[in-house]
Amino acid sequence: MSTLTADEIWELVANNNKASGIRDRLFVCQIWKESGFDPDIKNTGSSATGLMQLTKGAVAEVNRVRKTSYDHDDMTDPALNIEVGTTYLDILIKRNKNKLETALAKYGTGSAYADSIITCAKCVSDKSHTWVCLHKIHP
């Protein structure tokens, strides 16, 4: 599979966002930062895979908390990756007293990671501004 378009990502997020109360635009920004919209990307230094760069540990945590049975080997499937990734962030938000910034920092690489995604999500007021906002966090 090749890199997906912004429109395809918007549709996938709209259909697979499992995080309660988190707007799709935040996940569009996070997916861009994590993978550049490439569903087949794998991190050579870890087990991070797919659009939301899910690790084996993240998938296992979703399975443990939500009593599901996702397989990390399936995380190059865009819909499944977004379903599991949004669920994982939802778990982190609840675990961190509903603090989105703290949850994002733990999902990624710290507070700068979280700030960039939150700033991008605020920038994406509608889909017509998507690329301008995305390129601010990951050219």
3 state SS for 87-127: HHHHHHHHHCCCCHHHHHHHHCCCHHHHHHHHHHHHHCCCH
Q: What share of the chain in percent tops pLDDT 70?
A: 98
Give the residue with greater pLDDT, 1 vs 64.
64
pLDDT at 116: 96
Cβ atoms within 10 A of the Cβ of 102, count? Answer: 16
Please list, in sequence order, all residues whose beta carbon lies within 8 angstroms of the beta carbon of residue 65, skipping any fewer than 6 positions away: 91
List domains and CATH numbers for the chain.
6-137 (1.10.530.10)
Question: How confident is the model over 81-123, as pLDDT tens digits?
Answer: 999 999 999 999 999 999 999 999 999 999 999 999 999 999 9
Query: In DSSP terms, which residues pair with 42 in a beta bridge?
Result: 49
Q: Please, which pLDDT band fits residue 131 given cuts at 50, 70 and 90?
A: confident
pLDDT at 1: 67
H or E element at residue 12 = helix 6-16
Q: How confident is the model at residue 38 (pLDDT cuts 50, 70, 90)?
A: very high
Q: How confident is the model at residue 128 (pLDDT cuts 50, 70, 90)?
A: confident
pLDDT of residue 48: 97
Mean local confidence (pLDDT), 20-44: 95
Asked if 87 contacts 62 with a C-beta cutoff of 8 angstroms, the reply is yes
* Reduced DSSP (H G I as helix, E B as strand, rest coil) percent helix, strand, coil of the chain, to 5: 65, 0, 35
**Taking 80 as the threshold, does the pLDDT of residue 127 lie above it?**
no
